[in-house]
Structure 1
Amino acid sequence: MIRYTLKCAQGHGFESWFQNAAAFDTLAAGGHVSCPECGSTEVEKSLMAPRVTTSEAARAAAATPEGERDRKIAELKAKVESEFDYVGSSFVAEARKMHEGETPHRGIYGEANPKEAFSLLEDGIPVAPLPFLPTRKAN
């Protein structure tokens, strides 16, 4: 993915993400990139500086409350994905089987819609949402 700073024919500046440079060129040529302020499809790339992060800047960012939170979420994600079984859309059924003693207890994670999750909680089955998207669902 690449982020471009763009400018329309009216001089309005804005940013947008594209899969790659060729994707921007194709979309812009077809009139599919438009200014969010005026709707003009006469859009061109503006001068922009590359985003470069030094290790010192990365350490400073990690020292912020947000950086610490992100580090802890990454640690949790690594632990869950290495020690628990991913059961995908079978999560609700697997959790119920374990609760009812049909299968051995083990750590699992997967998908459940809010209604299903509340139903599990109402039945005394402990579940909690994960603060990250599992790697298997990232595509």
Structure 2
Amino acid sequence: MIKYALQCDAAHEFEGWFGSSSDYDDQSARGLVDCPICGSRGVSKQIMAPAVAGTKAQSSAPAIDPKAREMMMTALGEVRRHVEDNFDYVGDAFAKEARAIHEGTSEERGIYGEASPTEVKALVEDGVRVAPLPPPAPKKTDVN
């Protein structure tokens, strides 16, 4: 496993774990690497200090229990389904509609849709509460 420090084009920093360097390159090229904060696929690797082995044994990253991972993925899928079933889809008018709801000029309701990283950043800076929708579960053929 390899851990990369990543940053999206909206300057959100996060980490990603990949089976190998080529796994990151492949997944990035297929648009499977996105920002967990804003959903942007404009993600790049950041400069990292290499891990240098010392004289003491270093522990590796803890293994993720497959049952816990499955439970988390199921919960994220349920959140997405709930939003899709109960909220209004507003497409690329999301930023405009979210701002209108925040300002009280549009009906208070749950919405979802698309917004650019710049639009999301402006909403957050203005105090509009937004969160990324969990992505749909990847097809088993799309992951390694």
The TM-score, its normalising length taken from structure 1, stands at: 0.49
Rg comparison, structure with higher value:
1
Q: Return the structure number with greater relative CO, CA threshold 8 A, min gap 6.
A: 2
More helix by share: 1
